[in-house]
Structure 1
Amino acid sequence: MNKRYSTYYLLFLAFISVVACKSPKKETKKPNILFVSIDDLRPTLGAYGDTIAITPNMDQFAAEGMTFRQTFTQVAVCAPSRASLMTGLRPDSTRVWHLGDKFRDIHPNTVTMPQYFSEFGYHTVNLGKIFHNYMPDSISWDEPDLRPAQYLRPEWLNRDGETFYISKEINESQVKKRDSLLKLRPVRYADGWNTGPAWEAAAVHDTMYYDGAQTELAKRTLSRLAKMDAPFYMGLGYFRPHLPFAVPKKYWDLYDAEKIPLAPNPNVPKNAPGHTMNSMYELRHYDGFNKIGHPESDYRMSVDTTRILKHGYYASVSYVDALLGDLFSHMKKIGIYENTIIILWGDHGWKLGDHNSWGKMTNYNIDLKVPMIIRYPNQENRGAQTFEITELIDMFPSLCELAGIEIPDYIQGTSFVPLIKDPKRQWKKAAFSQFHRRPKVSADGKRYMGYSINTKKYHYIEWYTWDPKTGTKGELKSTELYDSENDPHETVNIANEKIHATVVKELSQQLAEGWQKARPNNP
């Protein structure tokens, strides 16, 4: 190359170098999101101070992230809770108040969380129970309702993941019962499959039950998603510890049933109105429980049965914990763990003999308090906890902020990201929940709507008559007040004691003012 052309070549390289420096940099890939729902999971975890629970993987996850110790659901039953948190709207806005209400029928144009993230370039995938078992809302996902291949039989497409057993005899019995039920009424919850014993402990590999098979599918799906240019949003919904407590025997063997304590609050709260409790109709579907009494009756479950049910619940929690440990290990192996926002949550609590009851579906805090733990890239204050009040409806705006996308202006929750950065800062003044008590499960056969407000010191509830057609409350029928500091298990309703009249008046006003007035002063 002669001297003249050599000079031109060097000038050309210099020009290209300057242009390259001025060119916009390629946008950094946004963090992935793994959105993990665990059905019926109350804060029965070591990270929440439960000394019986064997949950090493969730406890380790909490040690790497932020644990919210005072998180409340908006409704203590699956479909309304999930409709609320997935849309960012509270129940009186979604108008989803009980299991049969379908938000997509009520508001067809609703934009859900995965739909919103899709608008910002996320590839959205769903496995398991994120909305509700039989209403996966396929429109919300790029890849909706993925299921393990062995569960894709046509006759099982409307069947819930929690309804599968291992025993051949149980499976045969289920088919017979289902056929009989469908002859009486062809449209049924879980497509009529929710029959069988309340527990099973088969000596099988983890993958033989639905949640284990689903975890294997989740691992394969994550391996595929990791190779995509777009970030992903995966909703992964575990079915246990929902009834039946059917999990591999080795998780039952982790516990000595005699050492699992019975409920510290085995009675309906003293002075509580007669419509606060549900009839336990969920448990009634299972073998041997069809004649159990209403919690507000004289019915008492035997201690032996109580211990088996509690044992099964704890075994189920440990099973899901092991599956999550396997999933997280896989994410580390394929190199996506560190660049993924992982949030783990329960949709509502669950009574394990508390208030003489089993299940959810009340306004009591044993049903309203839930676990919520988050870990994300470059997180501050790893391993921290906060006892400030948060709500499940806060997840939508929080994930938006962490992903660096705009928070919708209609959202009725508050991003808790500032709370992660300063766990001791003052936050929400209260959490708001509600429950629609229908006549067929109410002790007095009447219909009510109960509105609940939780502050740091008190839990206050107002019960009104309710018009389900217009969705409006009528006459105030009763009130409840519990001292959360001195009576955390809510054993005595003190709303009618004169000494608390001022507190009741103040809380009633705060409840009427609603969630807007309870937001942090400087979020």
Structure 2
Amino acid sequence: MNYKFIKLILPIFINLAISPIALAQKSKPNVLLIAVDDLRAELGHFENSAVQTPNLDKLASRGVSFTNHFVQVPTCGASRAAFLTGKKPRRTSELNNNIMANEFREKPEGKIPETFIHHLKRNGYYTVGIGKISHSADGYVYGYEEEVSDQVELPYSWDEMLFDAGKWQTGWNAFFAYADGENRQSLNRQVKPYEAGKVDDLGYPDGLSTQLAIQKLRELKDLNQPFFLGLGLFKPHLPFTAPKKYWDLYEEDRIPLAKNPGKPLNVSDQSLLESGEFNQYALGEEKAGVDHQLSDAYARKIKHAYYAATSYSDAQIGLVLDELEKLGLDQNTIVIVWGDHGWHLGEQRIWGKHTLFENALNSALIFKVPGRKYAKIEDAIVESVDIYPTLMELLAIESPEGLDGESFVNILHGEQKQIEEVAYSYYNRGISIRTPQYRLTKYFRKTEPVIELYNHQTDPLESVNIAAENPEIVARLLPLLEKGNTGLYDKN
């Protein structure tokens, strides 16, 4: 028997056995999404940044990193819902962290996919989630102090939903973890908002999630269809915990303080935040509030903690990207790193998110598209709802009807920007728009002033509301703001 002939002809028969549809699907790029909790748009490769993110910097050197990416809602669950659905909030319930847990799991599967991940799954992708992609820390619906349920938060999006809770036992315990196996709930909030753990990377949950992702990439390499892998990292969300070696990257007394630590002029305290999430860590040395600033020493301590937690997540991202390259998957995988919102680090006397100011709405976004050799720090204004249609265009998959976002593939390809650059955000009974020059915010409340205007060319720190002395600019921008009024608030 001619074995050489058999060896030559066998691959032909194997290929003939694979349908044209399967071949077309296999040729589509894979997608790796890394969602990072509370990752503001302060990365090592940005100008005047003090944080160390060498792995994100390396990724940005091969792709596009956006300085002006804005989220729809400055809170975790609602921001992720808008991102995943490509839709702006239309009801006040859609500003709630639990919108997906409360409603998505109750709906029967319909014509409109529940998320872009569901849409990918319908179009031939094998979908795997690890950690916090929707709001739940591990993808399942249950309360902070309850046992893990078997109810998936996104019931139609995942082929696999994975998580290693380690010694913390549940996803929510892991989300608020300290290195000794305790968590914020188990210690009844009698904890500090930070920790420099004397542990290695596996001593906190994000290290375990990273190892799961690496193992899953090795399995997915041989899959006969394209895959979507979502990895949700917890840090730098509170508590700001990280192995001590990441704290040691910084000299605390050299960490810069916020450039705008005072209250903005000409605004109501209702536009600000009492930093309740930060203050609930009862053993914190100082409490934050809009009536005072933290001491310089403690402000540096907290920024140090946030930076250390960010560098820890950056290291985990580096491990995943290294494995992607080692497996040869980087040649056919779109990589997206997305922060679900920003975080005030003392700006405007705030330590937290939940505002309609720049620091809460501006978050990290990096895209790397295989076959595109460019490195660009991009200042075009994009918003989270734009990511859905952008990804579908890159994958040559038709987007479903009703998306609010606009594809920015042209920006990724170095072409012209959108005709109308504007990002919409919603919270605290307000709507805010960001244009290349201005931020205009309108609050639907009785307490004046209800209109705030900031000129980002002259006041990028949003320290003075200039609406009263610039009625013509307000009048010009208000119709643009009203275009984004989805019925969430009364239009009077």
Structure 2 length-normalised TM:
0.86
Superposition deviation, residue 482 in structure 1: 0.4
1:480 aligns with 2:452: yes
Q: 1:174 to 1:69 in 2, by over 3 A?
A: closer
Per-residue CA deviation, residues 336-366 of structure 1 (Å, 9 max, x unaligned), is 1111110011111101111111010000001
Which residue among 159, 163, 166 is the counterpart of 1:147? 163
Indicate whether 1:162 and 2:175 are aligned. Answer: yes
Aligned CA-pair RMSD = 2.7
Q: Which moved more, 1:53-62 or 1:93-102?
A: 93-102
Separation (CA, whole Å) in 2 of partners of 1:160 and 1:338: 37
Give runs of aligned pairs for residues 258-337 of structure 1, distance below 5 A: 258-289=253-284, 292=287, 294-295=289-290, 297=291, 299-337=292-330
Q: How far apart, in 1, do the equivalents of 2:60 and 2:382 lie?
A: 17
Q: Who is 1:469 aligned against?
A: none
| Residue identity opposite 1:506 in structure 2 | R
Q: What's the CA shift string for 1:361-413, capped at 9, x where partnerless? A: 0000011111111112212x510232111101111111111111111121110
Equivalent in 120, 123, 126 of residue 120 of structure 1: 123
Tell me, in whole angstroms, the C-alpha distance in 2 between the residues paired with 1:53 and 1:291: 23
Whether the aligned pair in 1 keeps the contact of 2:261 and 2:293 (CA below 8 Å) is no
8 A Cα contact 2:383 2:423, kept in partner:
yes
User: Equivalent residue for 1:501?
Assistant: 471
Give SS of 1:287's match: coil
5+ long unaligned stretches in structure 2 = 1-8, 141-152, 487-492
Aligned to 2:381, the other structure's residue is in SS state: strand
**Deviation (angstroms), 1:45:** 0.6
Q: 1:511 to 1:142 in 2, by over 3 A?
A: closer
Whether the 8 Å contact between 1:388 and 1:427 is mirrored in structure 2 is: no
Change (3 A) 1:486 1:160: farther
| CA distance, structure 2, for counterparts of residue 477 and residue 425 of structure 1 | 33
Match of 1:388, SS state, is: coil
Q: Give the corresponding residue for 1:196.
A: 191
Match of 2:483 in 1: 513
Query: Aligned equivalents of 1:152 and 1:227: distance in 2?
Result: 32
Aligned counterpart for 1:226 among listed residues 221, 228, 234: 221
Inter-partner Cα distance in structure 2 for 1:139 and 1:48: 38
Q: Which residue of 1 aligns with 2:398?
A: 406
Question: Is the aligned partner of 1:344 residue 2:361?
Answer: no
Question: Against the structure 1 CA distance between its residues 173 and 364, is the aligned structure 2 distance closer, same or farther, given a 3 Å change threshold?
Answer: closer
* 2: CA distance, partners of 1:233 / 1:325: 18
CA contact (8 A) 1:138 1:144 kept: no
**Which amino acid in 2 is paired with 1:115?**
H
Match of residue 382, structure 2, among 384, 387, 390? 390
Equivalent-residue separation in structure 2 for 1:458 and 1:125 (angstroms): 39
Deviation at 1:288, TM superposition (A): 2.6
Deviation at 1:124, TM superposition (A): 0.7
Q: Deviations over 1:44-69 (max 9, x none)?
A: 21222243121111001001011122
Supply the distance in 2 between the matched residues of 1:459 and 1:61 (Cα, whole angstroms).
Answer: 30
In the aligned structure 2, how far is the partner of 1:383 from the partner of 1:93? 39
Deviation (angstroms), 1:317: 1.0
What is the deviation of 1:225?
1.3
5+ long unaligned stretches in structure 1: 1-12, 178-193, 437-448, 466-473, 517-523
In 2, the alpha carbon distance for the partners of 1:426 and 1:87 equals 21
Asked if structure 1 preserves the Cα contact closer than 8 Å seen for 2:268 and 2:448, the reply is no
Superposition map of 1:328-477 within 5 A: 328-379=321-372, 382-436=374-428, 449-465=429-445
Cα 1:485/1:340, change in 2 over 3 Å: same
Length-normalised TM-score, structure 1? 0.81
Q: 2:41 aligns with which of 25, 43, 46?
A: 43
Structure 2: distance between partners of 1:351 and 1:172: 24
Give the corresponding residue for 2:490. Answer: none
Contact 1:401 1:417 (C-alpha < 8 Å) held by counterparts: yes
SS at match of 1:83: helix
Shift in Å, 1:29: 2.2
Aligned length: 452
- Identical pairs, percent: 34
* Cα contact 1:464–1:476 (8 A) shared by 2: no
Deviation at 1:95, TM superposition (A): 4.3
Aligned equivalents of 2:478, 2:385: Cα separation in 1: 22
| 8 A Cα contact 1:95 1:103, kept in partner | no
Mean Cα displacement is larger for which, 207-216 or 427-436? Answer: 427-436
Q: Are the equivalent residues in 2 in contact too, given 1:138–1:145 (CA < 8 A)?
A: no
CA distance in 1: counterparts of 2:345 and 2:97, whole angstroms? 21
CA distance in 1, matches of 2:48, 2:314: 14
Structure number with bigger Rg: 1
Q: CA 1:293/1:386 → structure 2, altered by over 3 Å: closer, same or farther?
A: closer
